[in-house]
Amino acid sequence: MGTWLVGNTQPSKKYYVETENGRRGEAEGISGIFNLIIDPGYSETEDISTKALMWILILRQNAISLAQFGQRADVYDGLGKVFSNYEQEGDLEFGDEMPLLLDAWSEETTIASLLFTGFIQLYVKDNSLQGYELLSPEKMEGAYPTDFKPPHQREN
């Protein structure tokens, strides 16, 4: 289970997450993180197909947010591309760069995609430091280029 933190409450569980809109929460595992950012019933869902649809939907939402910044994004699942923000959003202007690839293959790739785009920041409890360490996409097996900055963090 995941729990949203209120006020100045300090996290105590293994993972601490901050969303792009400033909400803070904590969870013991990845399912708990998804309980916070997708649906409170996520961890109770046993069907992997249903979970996969949830991963696609959160990344689709993320791609739509990126469209506001003119950033192209494609959402993929295990079978191929399932959504493209620049093909659906005809009135928006997009840059010429290659689209970001948001990967809904698994819980881990979905989290990595959300980290990569800045949709969430995820911290892991570090008992040796008695605090939390920011988990970055670079620490997730180099799945994304290290010089990328999400559109909302770029200098104009």
**Mean pLDDT of successive 10-residue segments in the chain (156 residues)?**
91 92 92 93 92 96 91 91 82 82 91 91 81 70 44 49
Yes or no: say if 46 and 68 are a contact pair by the CB < 8 Å rule. no
Phi, psi at 134, each rounded to 5°: -65, 130
Domain count, the chain: 1
Provide the residue range defining the domain that includes 74.
2-153
pLDDT value at position 89?
Answer: 55
Name the pTM for this structure: 0.81
